[in-house]
Amino acid sequence: MIHSENIGAKSAILLIYTGGTIGMKEDPSVHALRPFNFSQILEEVPELGKFAYRIDSYTFDPLIDSSDVEPSMWLALADLIEERYDQYDGFVILHGTDTMAYSASALSFMIEGLTKPVIFTGSQLPIGIPRTDGKENLISSVEIAAAKDADGHALVPEVCIYFDNVLMRGNRASKVNSDHFSAFRSPNLPPLAEAGISIRYNKSLIIRPSDWNKAPKFHKNLDTRVSILKMHPGITPQIVRTILCGKDTRAVIMETYGAGNAPSKEWFLEIVQEAAAAGKIIINVTQCIAGSVNMDIYATGKCLKESGVVNGYDSTTESALGKLFHLMGAYEDNADVKAGFESDLRGEISK
């Protein structure tokens, strides 16, 4: 469904509404929050009309709580952005916070060579509630999506998350708080911009395309055969084997301790080797909120490296998942997937 405001004005922004708390209100019959329609959101934010931009909107049907997000929605988002790429200067995606970091990560890998901003935002409180954080998040996201430099190029041609005055690279952010307004953090990369009295852009960090006139490439083949194994004291051989060697699994993201360490027990390494021999791609990311994997520091890490485990560096789990879906969709050969994973594709890792 398309809805237009301020036709004839300068920049053009497409607001894409997928659901999430920002657009929910209480359904008295079940005493739970449910999504309401987009024109009601716009009514709550008359400030948007003060921008000299054309703001169109597109509403997903059905609207969802982002806990229900599937890769099919990422494909629909990529299709929509590709189809309307030439008509808009930037895209703002209203999305539930619960899986926003997964969606922003996936989209960052699905679109190569972006020349326009794709900004995800949402809120912790519905937009109809007086203390909502949704208005500021939405208004500033629109301003960032429309922001250009003196040459007329987008200031932030990246997939980002804007939340509570901070603009983060999408594939660097994680949801860290379920009730504070500052729900997201980007622990391994400083903000791309911060909003105060003015919006201050951290230009040295923002990735710019090599050719502004080249259309981006949309990668829409996703292979989702990924499992996640989180290390914990007391983990059993049965659990590790089930996850690492599952027949429907092509890759496993292993969330290890600290700098990439896992148990040094013989059974554990034997299962890792068994999985590697069976052709499973095993990625090592840390369960620490900040910092990087380095498999050369401790003996336990070294054994993983020798068994063919791939270094995830300072990747978030959300980013690793989207990156694997994309790389496995692009390459048949696991060696290509592993080499791609250890490369910095969209600013998602620091090497």
Residues identified as active-site: 21
Which residue reads 């895209």 in tokens?
91
Q: Which amino acid would we find at residue 46?
A: P
29: CB partners within 8 A, 6+ apart: none
User: Between residues 135 and 280, which has the closer beta carbon with respect to ligand ASP?
Assistant: 135
Kindly indicate which of the ranges 15-23, 132-140, 203-211, 274-282 contains the residues binding ligand ASP, using the contact rule CB under 6 A: 15-23
Q: Which of 3, 34, 65, 76 binds ligand ASP (CB under 6 A)?
A: 65
Nearest partner of 81 among 159, 155, 151, 137, judged by Cα? 159
What secondary structure letter does DSSP report for 314?
A: T
By beta-carbon proximity to ligand ASP, the closer residue of 122 and 260 is 122
Q: Is 117 in the site for ligand ASP (CB under 6 A)?
A: no
Which CB atom, from 65 or from 274, has the smaller least distance to ligand ASP? Answer: 65
Asked if residue 97 binds ligand ASP (CB under 6 A), the reply is yes
Alpha-carbon gap, residue 258 to 66, rounded angstroms: 30
Q: Which of 71, 117, 122, 191 binds ligand ASP (CB under 6 A)?
A: 122
Question: Which of 14, 20, 135, 162 is in the footprint of ligand ASP by CB under 6 A?
Answer: 20
Nearest 5°: the CA angle 336, 341, 343 is: 100
CA 187, CA 174: separation in Å to the nearest integer? Answer: 8
Please pick, from the candidates 21, 140, 141, 174, the single residue that binds ligand ASP as defined by CB under 6 A: 21
Q: Which stretch binds ligand ASP (CB under 6 A): 19-27, 198-206, 246-254, 295-303?
A: 19-27
Amino acid in the structure at residue 117: P
Residue with tokens 């401790």: 298
Half-sphere exposure of 118 (CA within 13 A, CB side): 30
221 contacts ligand ASP (rule: CB under 6 A): no
Computed from CA positions of residues 84, 90, 93, 94, in that sequence, does the dihedral angle turn out positive or negative?
Answer: negative
What are the Cα distances from residue 281, in Å, to 201, 233, 273, 277, 278? Answer: 38, 23, 11, 10, 9
Q: Which of 67, 87, 182, 350 binds ligand ASP (CB under 6 A)?
A: 67
Minimum separation from the CB atom of position 120 to ligand ASP (A): 11
Where does this chain touch ligand ASP (CB under 6 A) — which range of 94-102, 199-207, 223-231, 279-287? 94-102
Q: Quick one: 105 or 284, whose CB is closer to ligand ASP?
A: 105
- Closer residue to ligand ASP (CB): 34 or 148: 34
Q: Do 184 and 161 meet the contact criterion of CB atoms below 8 Å apart? A: yes
- Which range in 61-69, 150-158, 251-259, 321-329 contacts ligand ASP by CB under 6 A? 61-69
User: How far separated are the first and last CA of the chain, in Å rounded?
Assistant: 43
Q: Which is nearer to ligand ASP, 104 or 275 (CB)?
A: 104
98 binds ligand ASP (CB under 6 A): yes
Using CB under 6 A, which of 71, 96, 157, 340 touches ligand ASP?
A: 96
Token couple for 46 = 């008359």
Could you say whether residue 126 binds ligand ASP (CB under 6 A)?
A: no
Please state the closest distance from residue 101 (CB atom) to ligand ASP, in A.
11
CB of 228 to ligand ASP, least distance (A): 19
Cα Rg, the chain, nearest whole Å? 21
E-strand ranges in the chain read 2-5, 12-19, 24-27, 32-35, 54-64, 90-94, 111-112, 118-121, 159-163, 166-169, 174-175, 184-185, 193-195, 199-201, 217-218, 226-230, 251-256, 281-286, 310-311
Q: How far is the CB of 104 from ligand ASP (least distance, A)?
A: 13
Q: Which is nearer to ligand ASP, 175 or 280 (CB)?
A: 175
Q: Which residues bind ligand ASP (CB under 6 A)?
A: 19-21, 65-67, 96-98, 122, 124
